[in-house]
Homo-oligomer: A and B are copies of this chain.
């Protein structure tokens, strides 16, 4: 492996296939145990080769964060897609084109305003009746959605009814799970996410509105949930690669992280203890997600070329194409000297943002050999 890696121009995005497969298998077992439909989120990987390994069938279902993701996977045979961002009016035509092309599309609303507007547009289009509409529920105060106990929840459902649209269901995302700091907190957050969405479904049913889909998901809550009574489907995406943020909250170990950035030593500032790498923030992204965690990993944790962490070395700073590798602040400097040309791997803070900087994954197969390149896409 290392001879081929050495010839590779850097930076490059490496994907450890065995780790990825193990992460997928872990989630598969959890979903089976919980007895729900799994609707993997493709926003982290944006790659057919990765997503097809996550899906329960070649037709899906999947969750997307952009309509470009929907286009891409629809063109490759996926037939059941949830677009998990509240719908903007300028995207409704696009959704209708996908629906008319034979894809079961589902979209979100979280206001009477959006529900009425959407209802009108769906009614005016021959494919509109097929589009699934879900109400986004706010289970943790994290970003969008209506509170499950609010009057608004019922008003939105009635606005859809008035527009002649049958409600498909309710969904929530416990994004606050990323701030949890213990297994106990994660379990509690998973239960909060479940209880809140089930409450929303129950309140809708109590006023005679059917609510077939009850959808939850985030990688931390998905893996921490003890049971999902009343929930019908689970969404998660970043688990496929994991990252330092997930390791920082205890959802995975460093050895589960399947993505790394291959970089090369290009110089030193010896008196400062700096090793300069050809991977800066363009290669890692500007994501500093571990900055708010107990262990700040800078722009990433440094490993040798085989993937073994170098104790306490992080990417301390980053310019566009320069990375500054150094010992973690507060640790004693040591005598490590990596000659110019030495390759290292850098584990990323956040798989979604780092992967987004690349057009392909360089896959390290289970036998440790560099095997294929898997394309990925970006944009909207």
Chain A residues with a Cβ under 8 A of chain B:
6-12, 43, 65-67, 85-91, 94, 110-111, 113-114, 117, 138, 143-144, 175, 264-269, 276, 278, 281-283, 285-288, 317, 319-322, 324, 339-341, 343, 352-353, 356-359, 378-380
In the complex, the answer to whether B175 meets A9 with C-beta atoms within 8 Å is no
A339, B112: Cα distance in complex, Å: 11
In the complex, the answer to whether B9 meets A380 with C-beta atoms within 8 Å is yes
Contact of A111 among B113, B144, B267, B283 (CB under 8 A): B267
Which residues of B have CB within 8 Å of A88?
A: 9-10, 264-266, 278, 340-341
In the complex, the answer to whether B353 meets A286 with C-beta atoms within 8 Å is yes
Q: Which residue of B lies closest to A341 (CB)?
A: B89
Which residues of B have CB within 8 Å of A111?
A: 267-268, 340
Which residues of B have CB within 8 Å of A9?
A: 67, 88, 90-91, 94, 380
Which residues of B have CB within 8 Å of A65?
A: 282, 320-321
Which residues of B have CB within 8 Å of A114?
A: 266-267, 340
A245, B114: Cα distance in complex, Å: 35
Which residues of B have CB within 8 Å of A319?
A: 143, 175
Which residues of B have CB within 8 Å of A91?
A: 9, 278
In the complex, the answer to whether B276 meets A143 with C-beta atoms within 8 Å is yes
Which residues of B have CB within 8 Å of A175?
A: 319
In the complex, the answer to whether A85 meets B278 with C-beta atoms within 8 Å is yes
Q: Which residue of B lies closest to A113 (CB)?
A: B340
Contact of A281 among B267, B278, B353, B379 (CB under 8 A): B353
- Listed from nearest, the 9 A-B pairs whose CB atoms lie closest are A286-B286, A89-B341, A88-B264, A86-B266, A286-B287, A65-B321, A114-B340, A113-B340, A86-B267
In the complex, the answer to whether B269 meets A144 with C-beta atoms within 8 Å is yes
Q: Which residue of B lies closest to A359 (CB)?
A: B379
What is the minimal beta-carbon distance from A206 to any residue of chain B, in angstroms? Answer: 25
Which residues of B have CB within 8 Å of A283?
A: 380
Q: List 22 A-B contacts (CB under 8 A).
A: A10-B90, A43-B320, A65-B320, A85-B266, A88-B265, A89-B264, A89-B341, A90-B264, A90-B341, A110-B267, A111-B340, A113-B340, A114-B266, A114-B340, A143-B317, A143-B322, A144-B269, A144-B322, A281-B353, A282-B356, A286-B286, A359-B379
In the complex, the answer to whether A352 meets B320 with C-beta atoms within 8 Å is yes
Which residues of B have CB within 8 Å of A358?
A: 379
What is the minimal beta-carbon distance from A12 to any residue of chain B, in angstroms? Answer: 7
A353, B87: Cα distance in complex, Å: 26
A339, B88: Cα distance in complex, Å: 11
Contact of A380 among B11, B144, B322 (CB under 8 A): B11
In the complex, the answer to whether B90 meets A6 with C-beta atoms within 8 Å is yes
Which residues of B have CB within 8 Å of A352?
A: 282, 320
Contact of A266 among B87, B281, B286 (CB under 8 A): B87
In the complex, the answer to whether B353 meets A378 with C-beta atoms within 8 Å is no
